[in-house]
Structure 1
Amino acid sequence: MENKAIAHKLRLLSQLMELHDINPFKIKSIANAAFKVDKLPFKIEDKSYEELEKIDGVGKSLAAKIVELLNTGTMVEMDELLAATPPGVVEMMHIKGIGAKKVSTIWHDMGIETIGELYYACNENRLIEAKGFGLKTQDEIRKVIEFTMASSGKFLYAQVEPEADKLTDQIKSMFSNALIEFAGEYRRLCEIITELVLIVGSRDQEIAFQTISHSDILHNKIIKENCLVGETDNGLKVTIFVVEKRYFFKTLFLKTGDDEHVKVVLERSADEADQPENEELIYQKAGLVFMKPELREGITFIDRAANDKLPRLISYNDLKGTLHNHSTWSDGVNSIEEMAVYCRDELKLEYLGMCDHSKSAFYAKGLSIERVLQQQEEIDHLNKKLNGFHIFKGIESDILNDGSLDYPDEILKKFDFIVASVHSNLKMSEEKATERLIKAIENPYTTILGHPTGRLLLSRNGYAINYKKVIDACAANNVVIEVNSNPLRLDLDWRWHQYALDKGVWLSINPDAHRIEKFLDMHYGIIVARKGGLYKERCLNALSLQEITQVFKTKKK
């Protein structure tokens, strides 16, 4: 075993001991030995126990540990500490900028056990409230995690969007009259992007291809026939196809839909359009109305397109209000008034739903019953003060392990609406998770089921649920399902939107905003809702103030 590997094991042991608050003197001794072993000019594995204990900074105790490590490949003490530590917490100790002491705070004080949960906490500004952290540290941690995520070759749509805009501007600056459009996952509005595909159509294909190939817009370029493959600064894979203008729309169609969608459309076409003037013609020849790119996944919408019954997809301008948001009363950054004024004056919305965390969410300053009543007094005051705008009294009530909500009925009935969400005990079987959600859904005070699976994209898988049973329960109990717009969540998954809509369930595009800038995440909620085929007539927060007020009153009855 190389000295560096031995030093790494000793360093990990010292970090685990610090994490579990074991003898500080012993921790310092092991950490010091790790540093010295790493710098030794000779191979430590060639030394006997007697020689090891004479090395400066090692001594008898550590010499015995090193011999144990060399003989067995591990140390019993380290294995015991690893067994008592969640794997995600061990991963955190490899993040540059945070040591064992900070990891201990993240784990013990904030209840965070995975890298994904830590990244989510950074995005919600939750870390700056913890002892020993600040905005700068939080940003550094977030950037390191993003870099790690990027190294896997997968990116959130929200991460790709600015890169895509930049790339488009660069290519447009090279040509005056070329046709330029994205295809692939990005054009289909997929929540996870592994490759950014661009189609460029030019009258002089060869010159256009040479121009792009010799530019410096991509790194690690591979030039193929009329195709350039490379990477952006952050490692996102990009493929650029350069074609003659007359083949532009055909290529755009072929490179946009997934394989199944493209195959089905072409099979329906008796007379294939080789040089179509637009994509509409391709669908027309297949006996279909034009299908928006976001709907080109498999065959889900093919029959509807054949019968001219595609939904008029919801747009951002259809939204009249925003529900499920957090203020300084719990773990938000802005006051209720600041959030309300921003929604009214900047976003031109009609209402705001406040849903601070409930009392079980101690890590997020969840509201005690006394504080619930105090907050509601403030909302009453603000509703008298703010002209042309209304704040609804809501709460994000934790769904406890047995499926109950964490306030008694006499408090639950004081809210205008309630978002019920799972935040703790996420390690459940599918049966347990489904039962837990259904019990919460059957609670007469539950208005909206929040982020149904608790997933964090590229970071944490959601707990498994029986989607059909959960959605059926929502239909039976008149409960709305949230489309959480945080780019890390986008939960309910778009693949289940149609099932929900077919069952008569309404959806709500909620930003889960913890500061005013995060209201803009509704943009990503709209994107994923369009992909699922949502239309404004079945979106809760596309209702006017008067309409949604009546919905809440009816539900409470």
Structure 2
Amino acid sequence: MTNAEIKTKLKLASKLMELHGENPFKIRGYQTAADTISDLDKELHGLTTDEIPQIEGIGKGMAANIVQLLERGSFDGMDQLLTNTPEGVVEMFKISGFGPKKIAVLWKEGGVESLDDLLRFCQQGKVAKLKGFAEKSQETLMNAVEFTISCRGYERYANVEPVMKDLLSFFENHAAVALFSETGDLRRRMETVNQMDFLVASDDFESTRKAINQNDKLEENELMSGPFSWYGYYEKCPIPVKIRFCATDHFYNTLVETTAHPRHLNATIEGERTLKTTIVEKVYPSEQAIYEAAGLAPVVPELREGEFEVELAKQNKLPNLIEMNDLKGILHNHSTYSDGRHTLRQMAEHCRDLGYEYLGISDHSQTAVYASGLQDFRVKEQQEEIKKLNEELAPFKIFSGIESDILNDGSLDYTDDILASFDFIVASVHSGLTMDITKATNRLLAAIHNPYTTILGHMTGRLILEREGYPVDHKAVIDACAERGVVIEINASPYRLDIDWRWVHYALEKGVMLSINPDAHKMEGYKDMYYGLLAGRKGGLTKDMCLNAMTLPEISKYFEGRRK
């Protein structure tokens, strides 16, 4: 069990204790332990049972819980709490904006024991009559419950990618498997998936099935499997695995058909011809041969959504999508000056060691008190340190930025002289997230029209599978960015991926540049650049339209031009 998984378990335990009205000091102890574990540089599973209690902030009792978590994935206190709590009530913890105390009222006073019960309760107007609720909070709760229910059965792509890689490696090492690939949503790199789909070509299905069932990490559901498929689960993976079998000579036909979204398969090419009608005509030796036979330029899997790519493929005008080695720097990162885990020096040196040319540091601004946002004097301290580090680390460069809060009226939370001292500014909304589309859009438009805004950060404030985000008029916001020359962030955190890739192509059509930003709060966060890249590629992002694909001299000139 990883530190992240242990943290999640302890956070859940603290919520359960709060739900049951246990001692606040005990609850705080679990929350503190979870935060302590989150900040550790070493994995707990690599420590002995004698070393764990020696960690500052982890007492003997908590250490015993952690040891049990490492041994069996739970601990005695957690087991008892879960026994005393209906499973549906535990699921209610996923509702954004409603904590254990509110859920306790819904359960103990309202008799609600599941999300479905709660949705009906809201629809019947009964929630507003409970203590601490009103008509407005009932409406907000109903929307949040509907969103949570819609997320059931889905998992973030980043969380299941290791499983995908493990299974692909497994297929590669079995002689019975001739050809293999991930397919479906997984191969199109969708931000969330509800099933792990694979395609395996073999001339001996039963030998292949036998090999799969000999994998200790896989467990078959025979009722859901069929003569040409295996269905089951992979160890600790929350979503099912489906492995389709096909004859070796039909592999590429089947791969194209199972990868693409139906819109892509059925898009009209010429007359009644579609990709789907092309597939059934004959057996093809490659995916490229199928597209050529259909009269299309080959389309990479990420783009096979039926959005814009078929028209471009007809004209042989598909974009050359951005690659990881095109990225020259990392913007929008946090250090210990605000709520980051690592120092400015550590963040800079690690960025340099990864092969990047520059780092854009953008700690939280003064309004974000909860994140130790920088007051004026702290801004000056950081900028002085940046100057010294730039002399030492040259030719690598640190750009001085800030993630400035967009206030309720759309203004940024520093005076003009402070804003003018930065190389670039990421403008983001962090508070007052409950807005209608008019208020949210106007708030963003005001920030975009501020002459100091360089990049619009995580446009909708969404958290994938957790929070829907505030509604915005995407076209109005993108059009304003085009008018004002403001860059739009693709927040690369797999929890955000905001702006949604579905709007990237529109932004590109309007001439708006995108910036792939990890929003990293620790050195390991730089790895999220990959997930932002996938989102950008799905929207058709090219090297030329990505801000941080600029070289150091190019982006230095760009920032200087913006400041003037």
TM-score, length-scaled by structure 1: 0.74
Secondary structure of 2:199 counterpart: strand
Tell me which amino acid in the other structure corresponds to 2:302.
Answer: E
Contact 2:177 2:201 in 1 (8 A): no
Provide the residue aligned with 1:535 in structure 2: 542
Map of 1:15 onto structure 2: 21
Closer/same/farther in 2, CA of residues 12 and 328 from structure 1, 3 Å limit: closer
Q: How does 1:330-349 map onto structure 2 within 5 Å?
A: 330-345=338-353, 347-349=354-356
CA offsets per residue over residues 86-138 of structure 1, 9 Å max, x none?
89x99xxxxxxxxxxxxxxxxxxxxxxx99xxxxxxxxxxxxxxxxxxxxxxx
1-structure distance, mates of 2:477, 2:247: 50
Aligned mates of 2:170, 2:136 — CA distance in 1: 48
Quick one: structure 1 residues 351 and 460, their matched pair in 2 at CA, closer, same or farther if it must change by over 3 Å? Answer: same
Provide the rounded CA distance (Å) in 1 between the counterparts of 2:363 and 2:434.
Answer: 24
Aligned residue for 2:158, secondary structure, equals helix
| Residue equivalent to 2:563 | 556
What is the CA–CA distance in structure 2 between the aligned matches of 1:210 and 1:157, rounded to whole Å? 28
AA partner of residue 274 (structure 2): R
In the other structure, the counterpart of 1:352 is: 359
Correspondence for 2:274 among 257, 268, 272: 268
Question: Equivalents in 1 of 2:337, 2:187: separation in Å?
Answer: 39
**Is there any run of 5+ residues in structure 1 with no aligned partner, and where?**
1-10, 22-34, 40-67, 91-113, 116-147
Aligned residue number for residue 88 of structure 2? none
Give the equivalent residue in structure 1 for 2:174. 174
> Where does the alignment leave 5 or more consecutive residues of structure 2 unmatched?
1-16, 28-79, 85-107, 114-120, 122-126
The structure-2 alpha-carbon separation of the partners of 1:201 and 1:70, relative to structure 1 and needing over 3 Å to count, comes to closer
Question: Quick check: 1:427 aligned with 2:434?
Answer: yes
SS of the counterpart of 1:407?
A: coil
Match of 1:3 in 2: none
CA 1:477–1:265: 2 relative to 1, 3 Å = same
The equivalent of 2:218 in structure 1 is 218
Partner residue of 2:250? Answer: 247
Deviation at 1:500, TM superposition (A): 0.2
8 Å Cα contact 1:265/1:286 also seen in 2: no
- Do the aligned residues in 2 keep the contact of 1:398 with 1:421 (CA within 8 Å)? yes
Report the equivalent of 2:261: 258
- Give the total of aligned pairs: 446
Cα displacement (A) at 1:172 = 2.6
Q: Tell me if the contact between 1:213 and 1:228 (Cα under 8 Å) persists in the aligned partners.
A: no
Aligned pairs for 1:180-329 (under 5 A) are 180-212=180-212, 216-222=216-222, 223-234=225-236, 235-264=238-267, 267-268=273-274, 272=279, 273-329=281-337
* Code of the aligned partner of 1:322: I
* Separation in 2, partners of 1:155, 1:493: 17
How far off is 1:149 after superposition?
Answer: 11
**CA deviation map 1:313-343 (0-9, x unaligned):** 0011000000000000000011111111111
Of 217-226 and 241-250, the range deviating more from structure 2: 217-226
Match of 1:454 in 2: 461
**Cα–Cα, structure 1 residues 14 and 177, in superposed 2: closer, same or farther, change >3 Å?**
closer
Question: Would the alpha carbon gap of residues 456 and 379 (structure 1) be closer, same or farther in structure 2, given more than 3 Å must change?
Answer: same
The Cα of 1:220 is off from its aligned counterpart by 4.5
By how many angstroms is 1:178 displaced?
1.4
**What SS class does the counterpart of residue 395 from structure 1 fall into?**
strand
Q: Are the equivalent residues in 2 in contact too, given 1:170–1:217 (CA < 8 A)?
A: no
Cα 1:208/1:17, change in 2 over 3 Å = closer
Alignment partner, residue 47 of structure 2: none
User: SS at the partner of 2:459?
Assistant: coil
Look up the SS of the partner of 2:197 in the other structure. strand
CA distance in 2, matches of 1:283, 1:301: 12
Mapped partners of 1:214, 1:176: distance in 2: 13
Counterpart-to-counterpart distance in 2, 1:194 and 1:425: 31
Alignment partner, residue 398 of structure 1: 405
Q: Secondary structure at the match of 1:255?
A: helix
TM-score for both structures, normalised by structure 2: 0.73
Q: 2:513 aligns with which of 494, 506, 512?
A: 506
State the distance in 2 between where 1:484 and 1:364 align: 18
Whether contact under 8 Å (1:328, 1:336) holds in the other structure is yes
Structure 1 residue 395 displacement after superposition: 0.1
For 2:546 and 2:267, locate their aligned partners in 1 and report how far apart those are by CA, in whole Å.
30
In structure 2, C-alpha distance between the alignment counterparts of 1:540 and 1:369, rounded to whole Å = 28
Distance across 2 between alignment mates of 1:457 and 1:278? 35
Deviation string for 1:497-521 (max 9, x for gaps)? Answer: 0100000000000000000000110
Q: Does 1:80 align with 2:131?
A: yes
Secondary structure, counterpart of 1:419 in structure 2: strand
- Summarize deviations over 1:29-70 as a string: whole Å, max 9, x none: xxxxxx9xx99xxxxxxxxxxxxxxxxxxxxxxxxxxxx979
**CA–CA distance in 2 between the matches of 1:480 and 1:69?**
49
In structure 2, give the amino acid aligned to 1:247: H
Task: Measure how far apart 1:196 and its partner are.
Answer: 1.0
Give 1:227's aligned amino acid.
Answer: S
* C-alpha distance 231-150 of structure 1, shift in aligned 2 (>3 A): farther
* Structure 1 residues 330 and 352, CA gap change in structure 2 (3 angstroms): same
Q: Is the 8 A contact 1:350 1:544 kept in 2?
A: yes
Distance 2:165 2:342 in 1: 30
Alignment partners' CA distance in 2, 1:186 and 1:287: 26
Q: Which residue of 2 aligns with 1:105?
A: none
Distance 1:386 1:85 in 2: 54
RMSD: 3.4
Whether the 8 Å CA contact 2:299–2:313 is kept in 1: the answer is: yes
- CA contact 1:17–1:81 (8 Å) conserved in 2: no
Kindly indicate whether the alpha-carbon contact (under 8 Å) linking 2:335 and 2:361 is maintained by their aligned counterparts in 1. yes
Out of 378, 383, 391, the residue aligned to residue 371 of structure 1 is: 378
